[in-house]
Amino acid sequence: MKNVLEYLENTLPSSASKVCYRDKKTSVTFEEVYTDARSIGTFIARKTGGRRVPVVVFMPKKVQTVVAFLGAAYSGCYYVPMDSEMPASRIELIFGNLRDFIIIADKSATAAIEKMGYSDRSYLYEEAAECDIDDSLLAGIREKQIDTDPLYIVFTSGSTGAPKGVCACHRSVIDYIEQLSKILKVDKDTVFGNQSPLYTDACLKEIYPTLKFGAQAVFIPKMLFSFPVRLIEFLNGYKINTVCWVASALSIVSGLGTFDTVRPEHLRTVAFGSEVFPIKQFNKWRAVLPAARFINLYGPTECTGMSCYYEVDREFAETDAIPIGRPFDNTEIILLGDDKKEVAFGDVGEICIRGTCVTHGYYNNPEKTAECFIQNPLQNNYPELIYCTGDLAKYNEQGELVFVSRKDYQIKHMGYRIELGEIEIAAGIMQNVAMTAAIYLKDKQQIILFYTGDTEKDDLLAYLKEKLPRYMIPADIVKLAFLPQTANGKIDRVTLTKNYTEQLTRTEE
């Protein structure tokens, strides 16, 4: 197998009339996906004249967007998901990075595209999907393609500076989907409930296993993640049995007491990742779904999605962290110290990843690529790139990998090396504290802690003074009803920091 489209083509005979993808408005069968994607593929191939260029898919979260991704693959090109939710300045930077590209858009994006002056290379989805299919053209394209050709570029949020476009090939995605499907135990009866935006790598988890197994993926409207009772009712209504969500999306549901009103009825697999799942919230999910499998996933976009997994097999105390476990099959994790040597068992090191999952790097950005995609420092006999994640981890006594923190969450404060995550976990253990986030203001040399829940901040402060060494006590504690989130649902520390410093400036004035 060398092309992800083979998943669709192999499944088609047995699943043609089955619903493949669904959103709140429409659904498409495997047959429709196959037909429309090949129409779009033919259309794009005629427009590009056979050149392999990025195809920007500028569409909101709906089933046609995924069909357009597959259409780009049929044309031998690679897709770049883009959503009008992204800030205009970021979109401009992405277009600048791509240089030569064409756009497939729906009507909602045409105004924005016109404003940026790209109308001459932009085509409507509806027009592309109506194109007559040219089978021999598509067959010729496929014959020339190899599995290291790119499938997509997704741009990472890049907390500082310009967005970086991670470029992944068919072979990496196939490797990922094969391993992930085994871990999630996907089969034809799987109904995914997708949470992540389509412009992140996270949605690979639903898009491709659905094609491989003739399963079904439901794209949940983003709005529902603000209305947790309705969200669970939606899961029940569509008999969704498998979710892979960021931990904070799960935490909001349990933290607001949603299960007093409604319970998920069909969920059998709950995968979570991208951030630490507070045990208190996790245990509420486990109590409400005693028969479900809970799987922690960890991995960077630069290695095609997820690279490590841990299926929960024991009880966790509130002071524990859920391990990230072990690498996927066909992937190796190396923990490197600052000296680029492997650390001793039990010591903290940077997670570095080796395997087919390692992507091609950042599109049109050799400098940034060279910073994190490096020659494996453990051998110098032949070229071999590994990816350095910037995440710190260690092995626990059971030999499982445990995430420690981002390299940049590790701060130096009053001469001590502090993990902000440790402060968050300590505060999160207190009764009636739901979610926590700690930031460090470098210029003021202050730790600030934000939390949600029913506890008063003086009580929380008193509690922390009992639990933490003095140098880890926050200079200020702020109670919020909700913690702000980024587009893909992680706690937005940048906004927390910005809001806090702005308020500080206002008070000082």
Partner 1 sequence: MDKIIEMLLQLHPDLDVECDSLVDDGILNSIDVVTLVTEIFNEFDVTVPASEIVPENFNSASAIWEMVSSLMDE
Task: Catalog residues that contact partner 1 under the rule CB under 8 A.
Answer: 222-223, 225-230, 256-258, 260-261, 454, 480-482, 484-485
CB of 451 to partner 1, least distance (A): 12
335 backbone dihedrals φ, ψ, rounded to 5°: -95, 115
Q: Which is nearer to partner 1, 87 or 415 (CB)?
A: 87
Name the β-bridge partners of 463: none
Whose tokens are 């030999």? That residue is 399
Nearest to 190 by CA among 244, 266, 241, 245: 241
Q: Which is nearer to partner 1, 249 or 295 (CB)?
A: 249
CB of 58 to partner 1, least distance (A): 17
Q: Which is nearer to partner 1, 101 or 450 (CB)?
A: 450
The token pair that represents 15 in the structure block: 């699943």
Q: Which is nearer to partner 1, 260 or 367 (CB)?
A: 260
DSSP annotation of 2 reads -
Q: Which is nearer to partner 1, 19 or 480 (CB)?
A: 480
CB of 350 to partner 1, least distance (A): 32
Q: How far apart are CA 186 and CA 279, in angstroms?
A: 26
Residue 95, CA distances (Å) to 79, 90, 376, 431 in order: 13, 9, 32, 48
Amino acid letter for position 210 = T
CB of 229 to partner 1, least distance (A): 5
Mutual orientation of helices 63-74 and 5-15 as an angle, nearest 10°? 120
CB of 413 to partner 1, least distance (A): 28
CB of 342 to partner 1, least distance (A): 42
Work out the burial of residue 397: count CB atoms within 10 Å of its CB; fewer than 13 is exposed, 13-18 middle, 19 or more buried.
Answer: exposed
Q: Which is nearer to partner 1, 260 or 313 (CB)?
A: 260
Residue 13, CA distances (Å) to 41, 119, 365, 375, 505 in order: 21, 39, 42, 44, 64
Q: How far apart are CA 100 and CA 256, in angstroms?
A: 47
CB of 189 to partner 1, least distance (A): 30
Q: Which is nearer to partner 1, 468 or 480 (CB)?
A: 480
- String of b and e for 496-505 (b: at least 16 CB within 10 Å)? bbeebeeeee
